[in-house]
Chains A and B, each alone.
Chain A
Amino acid sequence: MASTLPPSPSQRQRPPFPLKKSRRRRLVLTPEGRRQLQRFQNLAQTRPFRIVLAWSVLVLALGGLSLKLFQLQILQGEMLVERALGQQTVNSTTFVPRRPVKTRDGSVLAVDQSVFTLFAHPKYFSEPLEQVAAKLAAILDMPEADLLQRLRTQETGIKVTDAVAEGTARQVRQLYIDGLDLTPRPQRLYPQGDLFGAIVGYVNDEQAGQAGVEMSQQEQLQRPSLELSMRHTGDGSVIPTDLPEGFLHQDDLSLQLTLDRRLQRATEVALTKQLQAWGAKRGTAMILDAQDGSLLSLVVLPTYDPNRYWESNVELFRNWAVTDLYEPGSTFKPINVAIALESGKLKADDFIYDEGQLVISEHVVQNHDFSAAGGRGAISLPQVLQYSSNIGMVRIVQKLDPGNYHAWLEKLGLGKSLATDLPSLPTSQLKTLEEFKTSPIEPATAAFGQGLSLTPLQLAQLHGSLANGGKLVSPHVVDGLVDSKGHFHWRPELPSPQPVFSPKTTQAVLEMMETVVVNGDVSAVPGYRIGGKTGTAQKAENGIYVAGARITSFVGILPVQNPRYVVLAVVDEPQGGNAYGSTVAAPVVKEIIESLVSTLGLPPTEPVALDSQGNPVALDRNGQPITASADAETLNGIWAH
């Protein structure tokens, strides 16, 4: 808003001081005013010193700043960035834990935990040495004098202790003492202890498996580790820029085994009982699912606790069911019968003449009970198996010519090593074709299971071929890599099942094996049709059979009408005169089968009334348990006992 001065001086009003900016007054000057203004301007022009001084000071300051900026940013820029990165960057391999190992029913067998290694650098201690030692000794539960002495030995790099747990590490950190360094490292723990020791194995300090599944599945168990360079701020937190892809992602895969914890426990209990009762050196028992070759339980005794593997004998780290060869003895006889039936040289209802004793190439071969029972004459095939007649088997195998028999044995995998996913497999032993052809004692001894050697696992595989209709499956313990939702991300590549027998042959042999169980009352479980074979073999060392050292075994296959499971128990060197497969190993198999059918809910063929001890409540006149489908004639006149 403009206003002009009033004309007369008397009416001139004082301009309001200070002038409000909102009401700027516009003034017009008369020439006199202009002269005054000119004078002022001249004044300003003739004495600019102070203004110029002020101006130059400010400009100099600004110039100096920009010079410094130029120097820092452009000249020293790279060097400073490098130095900053050098201070911030930490090259580390992050703690990537090994994948856990689980059973099919979800029990955890092996899991990684992070523990810390405590390093002390006394050079950087912010408190006196004695104080630090006192505080640390209190937290770590170590003798103080010891600790003090160790801290005095060096200036830096003293490893105080190795396994500091999470909570203790937090306490150490909260001391806030400079010069204490906690580095994480993984530690593998095995919650099941020695129950699965022989199968899972253990790892060494570099997290490399040394035995068992830890060794054979090293690739699957090891997560790919990232070599990271991360940048840290002053307080140790990570700067989240330039982090590599996949830095945060950690898969939740775990290795699932085919084993079942309940069955493993039941197997171990049964085997331990007999080992202790007979004072045996070692034993093994396993349950094989013959349909796909997965092992439901595999127990090897004696065994070790992988949490404290260094306290055990090195020999125990071997799983002897997988790595040690033995001569199977009579448990191999059903296989030979199947070979003979399959080759067509024998029929299921043939009769074999059993002399009881034979002389072959200056060797005397006889039945194990020859001195008691003598020769039995003409016996049927089931009876050959029931009496476990060696001569009967020799006669059966003599129907095949040696070359053919040898080819059959090779087809079954003898002379080769088994394809399985446990480590350290040996090659099974078989005499050569030349020896088979030239010396007739060789096929004869092979007929009753001596003279050839294989591992217990391989024997289970061969009986598995009888159980699944004639296919050689690959026994394995690894199911695959499973995520937390149960989806498989990886499965092992197993060789496809190889047919060797026909289903007719195997069913015929199984029914013969059933008579062994029923007539011999070995490992009979009422209500279930089980086929079995005992085995008692002399142990050989350096080619000479050791007197009194036996290896007893029993194999059971159930259910006979729809065979699925093979249960094998081998007991090495039981003590005592009455130590045979039927007395030592068969009770193990019976108990294992009882647990198996209860745990998996296998229905019996015919429901049988049992009392609390597991004995049938009533038997018919043939001594067989009364089943639910017994007819009136059988029931007539039977008294319950």
Chain B
Amino acid sequence: MAARPAEIDYVPVPLPSSHRPQPSQRRLRRPARRMPTRASHGAALSPNQVQPLALRSPLPAGLRSLMMLQRSSSVLMVGLGVATLMVYGGTVHSQRAWSEAYSKLAQLRRNEPQLTLANEALKQHSADDAERQDSGLVDPSPSNALFLEPAPPRPTQPASPMPLEPSDLGREFPVSY
């Protein structure tokens, strides 16, 4: 790995104190100095040859694994947070729906006897009406009852075939009435 050139991001080089960057140019800071073309080792460098510099040693495995851990735990955290919110929302919603259904049930249970009482009151009312003299109704008694003996069960007969109608023969000739 030592043979590979180190990869670094662009590193802003601090400007000399004489040159203060304008606010509009703060982002457009240019390097104040030209990059030297000579290698620090003293060897003569051609312009095309630049020795890569390892500014940062490769990260130790521990640190890298920690970073991986941090990234993965962040992802996990976000996922768990979303899941928690969903579960919380579901809980609140289901509890509210249950409460509504329960209060509806309680209301129905309170309404049921009122319906029964109204029904019975109607029955009483119509019974009282019927018993009035001028209602035209009489109490049932044997003198206005008919007793019929049921006829003995008759054997079923097969259905007789219907006679052919003229229309069954097809409309070959007109039917005159």
**A415–B37 Cα gap in the complex (Å)?**
136
**A594–B144 Cα gap in the complex (Å)?**
11
Selected from A2, A192, A240, the residue in CB contact (under 8 A) with B102 is A240
- In this assembly, does A490 line the interface, its C-beta being within 8 Å of a C-beta of chain B? no
The answer to whether B120 and A238 have CB atoms under 8 Å apart is no
Among the stretches A277-285, A450-458, A599-607, the one at the interface with B is A599-607
The answer to whether A597 and B142 have CB atoms under 8 Å apart is yes
- Which residues of B, 111-165, contact A by the 8 Å Cβ criterion? 111, 113-114, 116-117, 119-121, 123-124, 127, 139-145, 147
The answer to whether B9 and A37 have CB atoms under 8 Å apart is no
The answer to whether A613 and B143 have CB atoms under 8 Å apart is yes
- In this assembly, does A526 line the interface, its C-beta being within 8 Å of a C-beta of chain B? yes
Residue from B39, B50, B111 having most chain A Cβ neighbours under 10 A: B50
The answer to whether A26 and B98 have CB atoms under 8 Å apart is no
**Nearest B residue to A614, CB-CB:** B143
The answer to whether A239 and B95 have CB atoms under 8 Å apart is yes
**A37–B56 Cα gap in the complex (Å)?**
11
- For the complex formed, measure the closest distance between the CB of A88 and the CB atoms of chain B, giving whole angstroms: 13
**A191–B116 Cα gap in the complex (Å)?**
9
Selected from A27, A112, A599, the residue in CB contact (under 8 A) with B10 is A27
The answer to whether B40 and A34 have CB atoms under 8 Å apart is yes
- For the complex formed, measure the closest distance between the CB of B163 and the CB atoms of chain A, giving whole angstroms: 43
- Which residues of A, 1-60, contact B by the 8 Å Cβ criterion? 2, 4-5, 7-9, 12, 14-15, 17-19, 24-34, 36-37, 39-40, 43
The answer to whether A32 and B35 have CB atoms under 8 Å apart is yes
- Which residues of B, 9-44, contact A by the 8 Å Cβ criterion? 9-11, 13-14, 27-30, 33-41
The answer to whether B102 and A37 have CB atoms under 8 Å apart is no
The answer to whether A27 and B8 have CB atoms under 8 Å apart is yes
A111 CB contacts on chain B under 8 angstroms: 113, 116-117
The answer to whether B99 and A595 have CB atoms under 8 Å apart is no
**A36–B34 Cα gap in the complex (Å)?**
13
B95 CB contacts on chain A under 8 angstroms: 239-240
**A265–B109 Cα gap in the complex (Å)?**
31
**A2–B46 Cα gap in the complex (Å)?**
20
The answer to whether B139 and A595 have CB atoms under 8 Å apart is yes
**A558–B75 Cα gap in the complex (Å)?**
91
- In this assembly, does A612 line the interface, its C-beta being within 8 Å of a C-beta of chain B? yes
- In this assembly, does A266 line the interface, its C-beta being within 8 Å of a C-beta of chain B? yes
The answer to whether A25 and B9 have CB atoms under 8 Å apart is yes
Q: A25-B10, A111-B116, A237-B99 are in contact. Are A30 and B142 (CB under 8 A)?
A: no
**Nearest A residue to B124, CB-CB:** A191
> Please, what's the 1-or-0 string for B63-99, where 1 marks a CB less than 8 Å from any CB in chain A?
0000000000000000000000000000000011011
The answer to whether B9 and A27 have CB atoms under 8 Å apart is yes
- In this assembly, does A137 line the interface, its C-beta being within 8 Å of a C-beta of chain B? no
Selected from A17, A24, A100, A614, the residue in CB contact (under 8 A) with B28 is A17
The answer to whether A30 and B53 have CB atoms under 8 Å apart is yes
The answer to whether A612 and B144 have CB atoms under 8 Å apart is yes
- In this assembly, does A107 line the interface, its C-beta being within 8 Å of a C-beta of chain B? yes
The answer to whether B8 and A191 have CB atoms under 8 Å apart is no
The answer to whether B47 and A40 have CB atoms under 8 Å apart is no
**Nearest A residue to B149, CB-CB:** A603
- For the complex formed, measure the closest distance between the CB of A84 and the CB atoms of chain B, giving whole angstroms: 16
Q: A2-B7, A113-B113 are in contact. Are A612 and B53 (CB under 8 A)?
A: no
The answer to whether B110 and A30 have CB atoms under 8 Å apart is no
Selected from B11, B39, B53, B123, the residue in CB contact (under 8 A) with A107 is B123
The answer to whether B113 and A33 have CB atoms under 8 Å apart is no
- In this assembly, does A425 line the interface, its C-beta being within 8 Å of a C-beta of chain B? no
- In this assembly, does B58 line the interface, its C-beta being within 8 Å of a C-beta of chain A? no
The answer to whether A19 and B40 have CB atoms under 8 Å apart is no
Interface majority SS (helix, strand, loop, mixed), chain B: loop
**Nearest A residue to B127, CB-CB:** A265
**Nearest A residue to B99, CB-CB:** A237
The answer to whether A604 and B114 have CB atoms under 8 Å apart is no
The answer to whether A28 and B52 have CB atoms under 8 Å apart is yes
**Nearest A residue to B123, CB-CB:** A107
- Which residues of A, 73-119, contact B by the 8 Å Cβ criterion? 97, 100, 107-108, 111-114
**A526–B48 Cα gap in the complex (Å)?**
138
**A111–B39 Cα gap in the complex (Å)?**
106
Selected from B10, B14, B50, B124, the residue in CB contact (under 8 A) with A40 is B14
The answer to whether B142 and A100 have CB atoms under 8 Å apart is no
> Please, what's the 1-or-0 string for A522-554, where 1 marks a CB less than 8 Å from any CB in chain B?
000111100000000000000000000000000
- Which residues of A, 189-203, contact B by the 8 Å Cβ criterion? 189, 191-193
The answer to whether B53 and A33 have CB atoms under 8 Å apart is yes
Selected from A4, A100, A113, A610, the residue in CB contact (under 8 A) with B114 is A113
**A614–B105 Cα gap in the complex (Å)?**
54
- For the complex formed, measure the closest distance between the CB of A641 and the CB atoms of chain B, giving whole angstroms: 16
- In this assembly, does B55 line the interface, its C-beta being within 8 Å of a C-beta of chain A? yes
The answer to whether A28 and B11 have CB atoms under 8 Å apart is no
Q: A7-B47, A8-B47, A40-B14 are in contact. Are A191 and B142 (CB under 8 A)?
A: no
Selected from A4, A24, A36, the residue in CB contact (under 8 A) with B14 is A36
- For the complex formed, measure the closest distance between the CB of B157 and the CB atoms of chain A, giving whole angstroms: 30
B103 CB contacts on chain A under 8 angstroms: 237
**Nearest A residue to B56, CB-CB:** A37
Selected from A26, A113, A604, the residue in CB contact (under 8 A) with B117 is A113
Selected from B28, B50, B96, B121, the residue in CB contact (under 8 A) with A28 is B50
Q: A166-B110, A240-B98 are in contact. Are A37 and B11 (CB under 8 A)?
A: yes
The answer to whether A34 and B139 have CB atoms under 8 Å apart is no
A107 CB contacts on chain B under 8 angstroms: 120, 123
The answer to whether A192 and B11 have CB atoms under 8 Å apart is no
**Nearest A residue to B32, CB-CB:** A36
**Nearest A residue to B147, CB-CB:** A603
B109 CB contacts on chain A under 8 angstroms: 97, 250
- For the complex formed, measure the closest distance between the CB of A171 and the CB atoms of chain B, giving whole angstroms: 15
B119 CB contacts on chain A under 8 angstroms: 108
Selected from A29, A250, A526, A611, the residue in CB contact (under 8 A) with B8 is A29
> Please, what's the 1-or-0 string for A585-601, where 1 marks a CB less than 8 Å from any CB in chain B?
00000000011011100
Selected from B5, B10, B50, B139, the residue in CB contact (under 8 A) with A15 is B10
Q: A14-B28, A166-B111, A610-B143 are in contact. List 13 more A-B contacts (CB 8 A).
A: A9-B34, A28-B6, A29-B55, A30-B36, A34-B53, A40-B11, A108-B119, A191-B120, A240-B99, A265-B127, A525-B142, A594-B141, A604-B147
8 A–B pairs (Cβ distance < 8 Å), ordered by A = A18-B27, A26-B9, A30-B50, A108-B120, A238-B102, A594-B141, A610-B142, A610-B143
